[in-house]
Structure 1
């Protein structure tokens, strides 16, 4: 399963840092789609610490921390948003913000086995497409 998230500050009018990132939960890898103000290379690995999910680079340096982002054993997201922290290139220090689910992309095998359910909390998300 691949998940697209948006990371930005709680007040995007005051801090313009943002990133759009694809997380491949099967390969435990991430890739950058777009970003500004956040030092993110083109891709890296996902590390689950139990309390948070870290997006790390090739040197195992944590670049982005996603609080509350977790996938359960049934490939279901535990949340559609949460806290995020990163080092801001524009401000020169760590910034707290948030991550938000943008899209979920499932494989044909996941769809056949019935794993294509919306995140916990019920109905599909308005404005978020579930790609196949």
Structure 2
């Protein structure tokens, strides 16, 4: 299952900051598809802790963002339109930024990506 998640509403700290992410529930990886004002790497790994999803970098287990209430272990979800609070500290040494996450799309297909960070094999 792959989710398209929109992070936004960081208006207090960074006006107009947002990121659009793909979260792959099966491989426990995420990739950035668009962003402004949130300095996130192109991809990373996902961890689940106490019903929250922790977005980590590609080589570091330190969370960059915590998506509170987004439980990737929940068999009944997540669902399109689901929302929650996001705590991000994408830039080391910066203050924690509070915003929101919003599930825009849930893709239940098991298709392999043709190109990109999650592609396997010689084409990757």
TM over 0.5: yes
Q: How many residues align?
A: 106
**Residue 73 to residue 66, structure 1, CA distance change in 2 (3 Å):** closer
1:52 aligns with 2:61: no
| Alpha carbons of structure 1 residues 75 and 26: separation in structure 2 relative to 1, 3 Å | farther
User: Partner of 1:23 in structure 2?
Assistant: 23
In structure 2, relative to structure 1, the CA distance for the partners of 1:35 and 1:108 (3 Å cut) is closer
Task: Tell me the CA shift for residue 23 of structure 1.
Answer: 0.3
Preserved contact between residue 19 and residue 38 of structure 1 (Cα < 8 Å): yes
Q: Which blocks of at least 5 consecutive residues in structure 2 are unaligned?
A: 112-124
For the structure 1 residues 73 and 11, does the alpha-carbon distance in structure 2 shift closer, same or farther, using more than 3 Å as the test?
A: closer
Structure 2 residue aligned with 1:98: 100
With 100-109 and 17-26 compared, the bigger mean Cα shift is at 100-109
* Residue 75 of structure 1, CA deviation: 5.2
Contact 1:24–1:30 (CA<8 Å) still a contact in 2?
yes
| Superposition TM-score, scaled by structure 2 size | 0.73
| Alignment RMSD (CA, Å) | 2.4
| Structure having the higher Rg | 1
- Counterpart position of 1:3: 3
Structure 2 equivalent of residue 39 of structure 1: 39
Matching residue of 2:62? 61
TM-score between the two structures when normalised by the length of structure 1: 0.69
Stretches of structure 1 that go unaligned for 5 or more consecutive residues are 110-132
